[in-house]
Structure 1
Amino acid sequence: MPEILENEADLELYSPNPEVCGMTTLDRAAFKRTIVVPFIRVKKEVVSKLLKALKHTTLKRPGLKRVIDDPEDEDSRFVLLHPHKISADYSLGEKEQKILKQFNINSQVSKYNLELTYDNFKVEEILRSVLPKGQEVTSGFSRIGHIAHLNLRDHQQPYKHLIGQVIIDKSPGITCVVNKTNIIDNIYRNFQMEVLAGEANMIAKAKENHAAYEFDFSKVYWNSRLSSEHGRITELLKPGDILFDVFAGVGPFAIPAAKKKCSVFANDLNPESYKWLLHNCKLNKVDKNIKSFNMDGRDFLLGPLKEELTKELSLPTKERKNSVHIVMNLPALAIEFLDVFRHFLDGKPCSTELLPTVHCYSFSKHDNPAKDVQERAEAFLGTSLEGRSSTHLVRNVSPNKEMMCISFQIPAEVLYKQCTHEENPEEPASKRLRPNEDSPEEKLIS
């Protein structure tokens, strides 16, 4: 991210040539500008000590030299001063004059014409000078290996290719800049994108939580902002625990868990995600610890998960030493899958200590997102979670939208068939939305 300028005076001083305003095709030479800065002439042997003594007065700007050669005297140097640290009449303050006197330096301040080029400006400064005054400047981006991912606003669209090229110029290692062109509106959770600048290479490499990942960023879902959340869930697991990852993507929950010696069952509906999940399991040498599936989430819950959970919970209590965790990271819809667990298993309820723990993600636009998510989870489970769940704020998605994670052990009265089904768990939950509930289409976001 670009460094924030300290004040309006700096903003004006270090602005590119104002004639670049409105530029849509990058012309680096057009950004050249000459500014006038003060300097003092000093002997080269005292430069180092003087810079320390005048550290609050000298020019401080990344990429610009504070000391330059004196073209008329090889034994002297020009020490450049910050224009806003001296008076308007180019005279030094009393404190600075005393310092110069100690070094036997003439306190006369002269003017130096300093040329600034495109290379001397930061991303934010360049974009601010190009976009019309007062319009929002986008200089931040998500980085996925060599790819910079932007979410441009409508008013930035005419400048999109220039923005992309500037980011490549100013960001070492970035060779491709892409912009999202629609919301996530399909069952595979990926979005269409366009290449704004650089190579059209979508095969990304990323590292997260001591694991390496490779994938086609244009065909799978990956969000670098979820790194901390992936790590948080991994920290909850102990070696030998069982993890069911219902919407596994390319493996950011599953692979760290497998590296921690957990038994992992990972599923994703997207064939591309499944392909890269298998690839990443081998890449991280955990393919022996992960069983992977390419199924609809509901089918995975009613099939492999139910089968394995039945086996695990049927074991005598003394033989069960490990916990079972179920991760459901599809925040637009996952909470609607919780109805699957209603009367999920036959037999007698096991010890409450051994009941599986669910970590279910959801978006919320309510003033009290924790309460909202809990109430919606209760509606699909058919029971109260009061005092039996915890909610965690994952991240702020937008000014009025939060991503939350609700964690709870599935109550025994929900999990076991102690009464007749009130409804068919195989019926898509989206058909049983509560009154005033957003439709699945309205919930899908980027």
Structure 2
Amino acid sequence: MKKKKPTSLKQALKKKLNKKELSLVVTSYDMVGDIAIIEIPIELEKKEKIIAKTLLDLHKNINVVVKKAGVHKGVYRTQNMFILAGEDRKETVHRENNIEIKLDIEKVYFSVRLSTERKRIMEQVKKDEEVLVMFSGVSPYCLVIAKNTDAKRVYGVEINPAAHKYAEENVKLNKLDGKIKLYNGDVRMVVPRLRKKFDRVLMPLPKEGEGFLDVALKAVKEEGRIHFYDFEHEKDINLAKEKVKESCRKFKKKCRILRTVKCGQVGPREYRLCVDFKVIS
């Protein structure tokens, strides 16, 4: 009788780890292209390569297994990654929302978990809109919008030279040369030099985005929309809206909050939020 293959990671690790170790295994992981990004608790560090190799053998679509080391840090929001199993590389091509995104998971910031959020924003974009994406990274928002909507043009501004280089590659990869314009630099310096007003401005920088609301407010047309991202605890969700209202008061702009959307949990009872708001005349 043919032996059944294990279908889950814990099942596959049953004979390799003891009960206590097995109970500590984190079975969820992120897939960026063909790279699995896993979390290894401190108690299992001595068994991390066994866990990684088991996961690699379990799924044919995984060619590299890495573990996160530390948190996102610095202006570029990058995170160290260590290869535990599979091929010796950190570059991959990720597919979502009808686009392909080439990136190095250690050199740039990219969140696979925001795929649904990118689609949500894309679905709001109207024909002939000019869209500005601040902190655009490898340009996932730019690509999704340019590929799937009738926007006139999408502009991306990114400070990380490595992310900007990948973004340029991604525009060519997706054959979107005529629809996307990319700039490498600090949004505070670059955006005013564009001397343009936009129908829609995206601000996918939750940790420090509040400090750039003035740039977005100056760049958006009257009746235009801004998507402001923020991290807040469950009990402080209304704070995100208050930050928007306070900035609008400070810079003498009128705004109407359209909605506040939870677009991911980043910790115990802590969420990534997006405040969609309209600047009114």
**TM-score normalised by L of structure 2:** 0.89
**Any idea what the Cα deviations from partners look like across 1:163-184, whole Å, max 9, x if unmatched?**
1101101011211100111101
Pick from 376, 383, 402 the counterpart of residue 271 of structure 2. Answer: 402
> Partner of 1:133: helix, strand, or coil?
helix
User: Offset at 1:398?
Assistant: 1.9
Which residue identity does 2:225 align to in structure 1?
A: T
- Matches of 2:274 and 2:130, distance apart in 1: 19
Pick from 101, 108, 117 the counterpart of residue 220 of structure 1. Answer: 108
The answer for the alignment partner of 2:123 in structure 1 is 235
Do residues 284 (structure 1) and 174 (structure 2) align? yes
Runs of 5+ unmatched residues, structure 1: 1-63, 66-115, 313-323, 413-446
Question: Structure 1 residues 122, 395: CA separation in 2 closer, same or farther (over 3 Å shift)?
Answer: closer
Checking the alignment, whether the CA contact within 8 Å between 1:247 and 1:266 is kept in structure 2 is yes
**TM-score normalised by L of structure 1:** 0.57
The answer for the alignment partner of 2:225 in structure 1 is 357
User: Offset at 1:190?
Assistant: 1.3
Pick from 166, 172, 190 the counterpart of residue 300 of structure 1. Answer: 190
The answer for the alignment partner of 2:20 in structure 1 is 133
**Any idea what the Cα deviations from partners look like across 1:193-235, whole Å, max 9, x if unmatched?**
1001111111211111111111112211122111111111011
Checking the alignment, whether the CA contact within 8 Å between 1:264 and 1:289 is kept in structure 2 is yes
Question: Structure 1 residues 292, 121: CA separation in 2 closer, same or farther (over 3 Å shift)?
Answer: closer
- Matches of 1:206 and 1:222, distance apart in 2: 10
> Partner of 1:355: helix, strand, or coil?
strand
Which residue identity does 2:11 align to in structure 1?
A: E
Q: Answer with 1 or 2: which has the greater Rg.
A: 1
> Partner of 1:237: helix, strand, or coil?
coil
Task: Could you list the structure 1 runs, at least 4 aligned residues long, displaced by more than 4 angstroms after superposition.
Answer: 383-387
Runs of 5+ unmatched residues, structure 2: none
Aligned-CA RMSD value: 2.3
The answer for the alignment partner of 1:5 in structure 2 is none
User: Offset at 1:123?
Assistant: 1.4
Aligned length: 274
Checking the alignment, whether the CA contact within 8 Å between 1:127 and 1:137 is kept in structure 2 is no
Which residue identity does 1:282 align to in structure 2?
A: K
**Any idea what the Cα deviations from partners look like across 1:340-377, whole Å, max 9, x if unmatched?**
356x48xxxx8xxx4221001111114141x1111122
**Any idea what the Cα deviations from partners look like across 1:223-253, whole Å, max 9, x if unmatched?**
2111111111011012211110001111211
> Partner of 1:388: helix, strand, or coil?
strand
Checking the alignment, whether the CA contact within 8 Å between 2:6 and 2:12 is kept in structure 1 is no
The answer for the alignment partner of 2:150 in structure 1 is 261
> Partner of 2:135: helix, strand, or coil?
coil
> Partner of 1:197: helix, strand, or coil?
strand
Which residue identity does 1:261 align to in structure 2?
A: D
Do residues 374 (structure 1) and 241 (structure 2) align? yes
Pick from 189, 200, 208 the counterpart of residue 325 of structure 1. Answer: 200
Identity %: 26
Which residue identity does 1:377 align to in structure 2?
A: V
